[in-house]
C-alpha cells in the first residue's frame, strides 16, 4: 500500500517534513479513507498519525543580530565624539586668537583647515605648533582673559548700581 500522497498532505497540514510523519500500521485503512485536511487533523489527535522527533544534534543557535565589520558602530561613535570635542575646543581658541589680532585672515583659514584634517591632538599640541611657527599665543591670550574679566566686573557693578 502506497500512502505517499497522504504523507505529503499530513506533512503540509501538521507543518513538518514528510520524513517525520509516521503512520500507525494497525490503522492503515482509516488513513487511506482520510481525504481532507480536517480528517488528517483528527487522525493526528487520535494518535493514528504521529510525528517523529528530529534526528541528529541540535544546531548551535545563531546570533539574532549580525556583527560584521560594517555593523560594529560603537568605536566609530566614540571617535566622532572625540573629534567633535577637539575641533570645537580648537576652533573656539582660534577665534579668540583672531579677535585678539594674533592671527590674520590667511593664517586663520590655513589653521581652520588643519583643525578639520585632525592634525592636532589637543589644545597644547595646537599651541606648540603655533609657537613653532613663531606666533606667541600665551601672553596675548592671558591679556584677553584679563580684559574680559575686568569688563565683566564693570558690567556687574553697573547693573548692581542700577538695581539699588
- pLDDT per position as a tens digit, 98-119: 887 788 899 999 999 999 998 9
Q: Domain ranges in the chain?
A: 4-51, 75-147
11 contact partners, CB below 8 Å, separation of at least 6: 17, 18, 20, 21
Q: What is the pTM of this model?
A: 0.42
* pLDDT beyond 80 at 10: yes
Q: In the 8-state DSSP scheme, what is residue 136? A: -
Q: Is the backbone of residue 101 left (phi > 0), alpha (psi -120 to 50) or beta?
A: left
Written out in words, the top-level CATH class of the domain with range 4-51 is mainly alpha
- Phi, then psi, of 72 in degrees rounded to 5: -85, 110
pLDDT of res. 133: 81
Q: Are 141 and 96 in contact (CB under 8 A)?
A: yes
Amino acid at each position: 500500500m502506497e500512502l505517499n500522497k497522504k504523507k505529503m498532505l499530513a506533512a503540509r497540514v501538521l507543518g513538518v517534513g514528510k520524513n517525520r510523519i509516521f503512520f500507525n500500521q494497525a490503522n492503515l485503512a482509516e488513513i487511506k479513507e482520510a481525504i481532507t485536511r480536517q480528517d488528517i487533523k483528527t487522525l493526528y489527535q487520535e494518535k493514528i498519525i504521529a510525528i517523529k522527533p528530529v534526528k541528529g544534534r541540535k544546531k548551535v543557535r545563531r546570533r539574532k543580530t549580525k556583527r560584521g565589520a560594517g555593523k560594529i558602530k560603537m568605536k566609530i561613535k566614540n571617535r566622532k565624539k572625540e573629534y567633535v570635542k577637539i575641533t570645537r575646543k580648537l576652533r573656539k581658541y582660534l577665534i579668540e586668537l583672531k579677535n585678539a589680532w594674533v592671527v590674520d585672515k590667511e593664517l586663520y583659514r590655513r589653521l581652520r583647515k588643519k583643525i578639520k584634517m585632525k592634525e592636532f591632538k589637543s589644545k597644547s599640541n595646537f599651541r606648540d605648533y603655533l609657537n613653532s611657527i613663531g606666533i606667541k599665543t600665551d601672553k596675548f591670550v592671558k591679556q584677553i582673559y584679563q580684559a574680559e574679566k575686568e569688563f565683566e566686573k564693570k558690567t556687574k557693578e553697573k547693573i548692581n548700581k542700577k538695581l539699588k
